[in-house]
Structures are given as C-alpha cells and as structure tokens.
C-alpha cells in the first residue's frame, strides 16, 4: 500500500502537555454544562438555543454504532472446525512461515518511472515470483483457473456451484517499494532475506503487501486440502504496480474483470488496509470504507532568460516562490461533518469505548444533534493534526525545479503541490480553489495565466511571462464512493461478524462485543481506486493487530516503506484465520 495508508486509522489525540490540559479543560467545561450552568439556564428561563443548553439538551442522544453479532460458519461448520484446528498446529505455523519467507526472498520492486510492460525489462522480476507461487501452491494452480492480465497481473477464479450468487473479490498486490542501496546496512536483517527470528519475519514486502497476498493464497490452498468446494465463486486479483501508478496492474485487471463479469458484478471486495487497535480501553476494528481523492498540481512559471549580471526584479524562481508561499498562506477550509467517516468512527468510540470520559462521551452523543457540540468536538479532534488531515483537503509542496547554471537567468521553474482531497469535496472544487488563490499574484507579476487548459487572463496584452497550472503525472482522482456501513447492508454485517469470529478464535473468547467494528478511513490510496465499478461494497482491511500505542503508530508501524520492515508471525497467523472465516462465511451468507 502507499506509505500513508499503513498509518494507524484511529490514533489518539496527541498526549503532549497542552493536549492534556485541553482534555482537562473539556472535562471541566462539560461538568459545568451538565451541572450548575444547566440549572442556572433553566431557572432563569434562558432561551434553549444557548450553545451550553443546546449541548445539555442532546447529551442523552444515542450514538450510531450498532454492532453485528459474531458470525461463525454453519453450513461450512465442519471444514471451519477442521481448518481452525489445523491453523493451531506447530507444523502449520512452520509451513506458513516458509510460505511468506519464501515470497519475501523474491524481490519484486517497482519504480515510478518505469516504461510499460513489454518495453521496460524491470517488470521481468515478476516472472520468478510467479514461478515461486506455482511451486508453493500446487492445489491453487491445479484447481483454480489462472488468467494473466498484461503479462504479470494475476486473476484466479475459484468457480462456485451456484452461478446465481455474485462472487467475492479478494485483492492484493505483488509489488514492493524499492530498497535504497544506501540503507541496506541499516537493516537488522537483509531486506530480501525473509529471515525469521522466532517472532517476526523480516524483509521488504513482509507486511506490505505480501502478507496479504500470501495469506489469501495459503488459506485457499489449505481449504482445497480440506476438500472444500465453494458455492459462491471466489475471485483473486493481484496487481503488480500498486506502489507506483497502479495503471499497469490493477488498471488493466479492472478492465479484464469488467469485460468478463460486468459492472456491479461482485458482492464485495476486500483489499489491503488497516486492522484493529485498542483505543479507550476497547478493541476497535476499523475497515476503511472511504478514500480521499488525489491531485498532483504542477505550478509552472516561464520568463525570459539572460545573463544574471543584468537581472529583472523577479526571476521565474523568485516568482514561483511567491506563488507557492501564497498557497501555504491560504490552506483549504476544514470543518467536521456528520457525514465524515472519522465522525462515524468517533460515534463508535463514544458508544463503546470503556475508558471514554463522561464529558467526552456526552459531547460525542450531543454532537449528533447539537451544532455547538459538533464544533466543540471538532476543536478537540483537530488538536491532532492526523485527524485534521483526514478531514481536510491537504496540500504539500513536495517538489521544485528550476535553473541550470548559477549565472544564467532561469527560463522556467515549476513546483509540485500534492493534494489529498477531502471525501466531502471534489477534484473540481480543489482545482478551482488552486486557480483562485493565484489570480491576484499572476496579475501583480504581469503574467499570462492559464489554469487547467483555460485562459484566465488575456493573452493579447504584453506580459512578463506566463503562469500555467496543470495536473502532473496522472489524472486527478475523485474521492472514493463511501461503502455502506449500516446493518441493513449485508456485506458490512457479514464482514463485521467475520472480524468478531476471527478475533474470538485467535484469543479464545466468546461473545459479540470483544471487538467493536467501526467505519474507518486511511489517508492514502490503494488499488481499489480502479475497482469502483465492480461493487459498492469495498473494504480495505487486513485484520492486523495494531497493538495499543496507536498515537505513535503502535503495532502497525513495522517498517512499511522504510528500513526493517517485518511482521509478527502471531499477528499474521490471525490474519490467516480472518481470510478463512471470510471465505466460508461469504459462501453461505446472503450478500
């Protein structure tokens, strides 16, 4: 996955000293609200629209985080029981370790600037990886139909006995981010060693995303060993350039799947994503049900060149610098909405978090109806820049280029501004605000101004140069459609029950509330951005144990996209239980 998508989905508000003071202040305010101030307001006949009374009025509102029951296979109970037992055997653990370790040993690095398949020989690294999969999973390759799309994309069809049932789609990606040569010495174990130290498997891709791909393949192989034959068709789709553009892999896979199965042809899709964490004394699983949009903005200034000994008042680099500073002066507006996925996550915190303070719980509940409470909750959450970034259309100046010689005036300079677009916004709104913010400066510098193919200023009058805004690298990406998460949605209810069952089995628990399933959202984009037309029920979830210290990354911060990537084998074995339970539950559930 992209680096940021490996971040924890629900870190706690920062625990810096000022944040602790803010929490105490919040608690104090709420005590006053629910106590003396409320009585004073009522006794004096104050209007009910007072913000304080408004919060009190709605403090007993019911949070919206209904939970599904734990879901254990019934029709497939026998194979579920047998394979559950097999997964607990030491020899199965050893076998699983060998499977993932072996996959890590086959490098499958991809780079941003690779030419298309068939032109660039760097894609050929996937040939040995396919050979490894064929050797490691003989039953998968002999029982499932394999189609290779654009040479290296893999589609496995496990045809079910009932063609009237929509298939499920399980996705992952074969590629990994490159290991910088200069960092090899910093790895505890060599990056493509697949070393197992008794606790973790080390190496690039051990977590992102060969753990997901090998997890799926391993479970299907073991289900075949148990003689399982699906009623509902299962399709596996593995891209090979998710860490780059995704166009060669998932982009082509989507075209193939639409051609073969049609649009809206799958009951649900599960791809890489987050897992579960302990938050406020309760374990929460947070499948990602939304993704922000994406735009790389190119800001380009062209001006006459010449010798630097007779410079103009402003060079192209100087003008570009002023334009980029203007962007940072005027960030995008941000406000917490009840439609935001993050808000729904916190509704679940408010209803199910055992250690949520009474003041915060009251605020969360009241925010469902009270604008004042919603504003107060926003201020509380936005103390943490992570939460604010999840809601806001962000901007980061990530690249700048200009000039070729110290004594030559630069004829051209450009910068790249990376946007992650709010789920409540659009690419159009983002581009319009980008255009608007530079209009006055373009005029003050006497630049001919063109934004996204349209002339903003007159091209007839003399000018000192030109300013051009355009999308860089790839086409802008709209925010993803939000997956339904109410209990009337059969796929969400089935996934929720499956998560609870897998968690209970791994931790030897019973009951439906040992883990709470809440809507979540990452900050990056996955291969699912190509699959929107296949199903409205897209879940980005890997059932990885994120530990407790979520404010600093916790267990999910395992060297993804950097040195010392590794995965805890105990956690990965639990991921296998999840995939097993998911396939068996989906096979017999109404979706």
Spot the catalytic one: 54, 175, 241, 340: 175
124 assigned binding-site residue: no
Share of the chain above pLDDT 70, in %: 87
Higher pLDDT, 177 or 11: 177
Do 423 and 417 meet the contact criterion of CB atoms below 8 Å apart?
Answer: no
Q: What is the pLDDT of residues 379-389, one digit of tens each?
A: 999 999 999 99
Name the DSSP letter for residue 62.
P
> Which run of H or E residues covers position 201?
strand 200-202
- Rg of the chain over Cα atoms, rounded to whole angstroms, equals 26
pLDDT of amino acid 139: 99
Which domains occur in the chain, in start order? 25-54+336-390 (no CATH), 77-275+519-588 (3.40.630.10), 293-334+392-471 (3.30.70.360)
> Which run of H or E residues covers position 235?
strand 234-239
pLDDT of amino acid 181: 95
The answer, yes or no, to whether residue 42 has pLDDT greater than 80, is no
Q: How far is the C-alpha of 518 from the C-alpha of 512, rounded, in Å?
A: 14
Contacts of 514 (CB under 8 A, 6+ apart): 283, 500, 503, 504, 507
pLDDT of amino acid 552: 40
Q: What are phi and psi of 522, to 5 degrees?
A: -90, 180
Residue 4: band (very low, low, confident or very high) from pLDDT cuts 50, 70, 90: very low
Higher pLDDT, 60 or 513: 513
Q: Is the pTM of this model over 0.75?
A: yes
The answer, yes or no, to whether residue 400 has pLDDT greater than 70, is yes
Do 224 and 591 meet the contact criterion of CB atoms below 8 Å apart?
Answer: no
Kindly report the length of the chain.
591
CA angle at residue 156 from 152 to 157, to 5 degrees? 145
How many CA within 13 A on the CB side of residue 415? 20
Residue 173, beta-bridge partner list: 239
Name the DSSP letter for residue 7.
S
Q: What are phi and psi of 108, to 5 degrees?
A: -135, 55
> Smallest Cα–Cα separation from 556: which of 543, 541, 544?
544
Contacts of 345 (CB under 8 A, 6+ apart): 9, 10, 284, 286, 518, 519, 520, 521
Q: What is the DSSP string of 96-120?
A: HHHHHHHHHTS--B--TTPPPTTT-
| Helices (H), ranges, 230-300 | 252-261
Helix 90-104 / helix 569-588 crossing angle, nearest 10 deg: 100
The answer, yes or no, to whether residue 306 has pLDDT greater than 70, is yes
The answer, yes or no, to whether residue 334 has pLDDT greater than 90, is yes
Do 213 and 490 meet the contact criterion of CB atoms below 8 Å apart?
Answer: no
Name the DSSP letter for residue 183.
G
Average pLDDT of the residues of the chain: 90
Higher pLDDT, 18 or 164: 164
The answer, yes or no, to whether residue 432 has pLDDT greater than 90, is yes
Structure tokens, 212 = 């997901």
460 assigned binding-site residue: no
Contacts of 92 (CB under 8 A, 6+ apart): 86, 222
The answer, yes or no, to whether residue 29 has pLDDT greater than 90, is no
Question: Which is it for the CA torsion 247, 252, 258, 261, positive or negative?
Answer: negative
What percentage of the chain's residues is helix, strand, coil (to nearest 5)?
40, 20, 40
Q: What is the pLDDT of residues 548-586, one digit of tens each?
A: 644 344 434 567 888 999 999 999 999 999 999 999 999
Average pLDDT of the residues in 125-151: 99
Buried b (16+ CB within 10 A) or exposed e, 47-56: eeeeebbbbb
pLDDT of amino acid 458: 75
The answer, yes or no, to whether residue 452 has pLDDT greater than 70, is yes
Q: How far is the C-alpha of 591 from the C-alpha of 589, rounded, in Å?
A: 6
The answer, yes or no, to whether residue 53 has pLDDT greater than 80, is no
Q: Is 587 a catalytic residue?
A: no
The answer, yes or no, to whether residue 124 has pLDDT greater than 90, is yes
Strands (DSSP E) along 472-545, which ranges?
A: 516-517, 538-545
Strands (DSSP E) along 306-379, which ranges?
A: 306-307
Q: What is the pLDDT of residues 336-368, one digit of tens each?
A: 999 999 999 999 999 999 999 999 999 999 999
271 assigned binding-site residue: yes
Spot the catalytic one: 221, 241, 242, 412: 242
Do 295 and 541 meet the contact criterion of CB atoms below 8 Å apart?
Answer: no
Q: What is the DSSP string of 121-138?
A: GGGGGHHHHHHHHHHH-H
Structure tokens, 539 = 């879940």
The answer, yes or no, to whether residue 174 has pLDDT greater than 60, is yes
Average pLDDT of the residues in 55-73: 78
| Helices (H), ranges, 288-353 | 316-329, 341-352
Average pLDDT of the residues in 393-399: 97
Q: How far is the C-alpha of 298 from the C-alpha of 414, rounded, in Å?
A: 7
Q: Is 242 a catalytic residue?
A: yes
Q: What is the pLDDT of residues 517-556, one digit of tens each?
A: 999 998 889 999 999 999 999 999 999 998 764 434 443 4
pLDDT of amino acid 52: 56
Q: 270 vs 177, 430, 533, CA distance in Å?
A: 21, 29, 14
Residue 62: band (very low, low, confident or very high) from pLDDT cuts 50, 70, 90: low
The answer, yes or no, to whether residue 21 has pLDDT greater than 50, is no
Share of the chain above pLDDT 90, in %: 84
Residue 439: band (very low, low, confident or very high) from pLDDT cuts 50, 70, 90: very high
Name the DSSP letter for residue 184.
G
> Smallest Cα–Cα separation from 291: which of 563, 89, 527?
527
Q: How far is the C-alpha of 591 from the C-alpha of 587, rounded, in Å?
A: 9
């Amino acid at each position: 996955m992209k680096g940021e998508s490996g971040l924890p989905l629900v870190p706690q508000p920062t625990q810096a000293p000022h944040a602790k003071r803010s929490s105490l202040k919040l608690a104090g305010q709420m005590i006053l609200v629910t106590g003396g101030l409320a009585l004073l307001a009522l006794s004096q006949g104050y209007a009910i629209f007072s913000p304080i009374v408004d919060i009190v009025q709605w403090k007993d509102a019911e949070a919206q985080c209904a939970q599904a029951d734990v879901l254990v296979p019934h029709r497939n109970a026998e194979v579920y029981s047998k394979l559950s037992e097999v997964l607990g055997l030491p020899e199965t653990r050893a076998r699983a370790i060998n499977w993932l370790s072996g996959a890590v040993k086959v490098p499958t690095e991809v780079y941003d600037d690779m030419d298309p398949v068939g032109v660039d020989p760097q894609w050929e690294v996937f040939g040995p990886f396919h050979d490894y999969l064929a050797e490691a999973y003989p039953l998968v390759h002999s029982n499932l139909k394999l189609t290779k799309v654009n040479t290296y994309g893999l589609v496995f069809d496990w045809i079910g006995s009932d063609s009237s049932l929509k298939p499920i789609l399980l996705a992952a990606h074969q590629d990994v981010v490159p290991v910088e040569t200069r960092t090899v010495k910093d790895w505890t174990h060599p990056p493509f060693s697949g070393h197992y130290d008794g606790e973790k498997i080390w190496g690039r891709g051990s977590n992102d995303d060969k753990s997901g791909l090998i997890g799926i393949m391993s479970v299907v192989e073991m289900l075949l060993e148990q003689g399982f034959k699906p009623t509902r068709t299962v399709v596996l789709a593995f891209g090979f350039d998710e860490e780059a553009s995704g166009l060669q892999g998932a982009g082509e896979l989507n075209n193939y799947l639409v051609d073969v199965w049609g649009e809206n042809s799958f009951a649900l899709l599960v791809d890489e994503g987050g897992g579960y964490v302990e938050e406020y004394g309760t374990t929460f699983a947070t499948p990602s049900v939304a993704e922000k949009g994406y735009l790389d903005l190119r800001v380009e200034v062209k001006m006459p060149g010449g010798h630097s000994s007779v410079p103009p008042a402003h060079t192209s680099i100087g003008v570009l610098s002023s334009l980029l500073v203007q962007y940072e002066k005027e960030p995008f507006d941000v406000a917490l909405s009840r439609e935001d996925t993050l808000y729904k996550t916190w509704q679940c915190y408010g209803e199910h978090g055992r250690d949520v303070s009474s003041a915060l719980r009251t605020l969360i509940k009241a925010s469902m109806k009270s604008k004042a409470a919603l504003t107060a909750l926003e201020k509380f959450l936005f103390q943490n820049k992570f939460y604010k970034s999840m809601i806001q259309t962000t901007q980061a100046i990530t690249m700048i280029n200009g000039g070729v010689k110290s004594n030559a005036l630069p004829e051209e300079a450009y910068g790249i501004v990376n946007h992650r677009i709010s789920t409540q916004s659009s690419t159009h709104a983002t581009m319009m605000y980008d255009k608007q913010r530079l209009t006055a400066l373009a005029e003050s510098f006497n630049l001919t101004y063109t934004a996204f193919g349209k002339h903003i200023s007159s091209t007839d009058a003399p000018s000192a140069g030109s300013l051009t805004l355009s999308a860089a690298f790839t086409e802008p990406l709209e925010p993803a459609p939000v997956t339904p998460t109410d209990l009337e949605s059969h796929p969400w209810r089935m996934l929720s029950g499956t998560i609870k069952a897998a968690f209970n089995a791994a931790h030897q628990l019973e009951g439906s509330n040992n883990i709470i399933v809440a809507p979540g959202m990452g900050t990056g984009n996955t291969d699912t951005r190509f699959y929107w037309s296949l199903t409205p029920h897209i879940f980005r979830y890997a059932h990885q144990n994120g530990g407790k210290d979520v404010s600093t990354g916790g267990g999910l911060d395992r060297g993804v996209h950097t040195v010392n990537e590794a995965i805890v084998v105990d956690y990965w074995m639990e991921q296998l239980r999840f995939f097993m339970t998911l396939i068996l539950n989906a096979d017999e559930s109404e979706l």
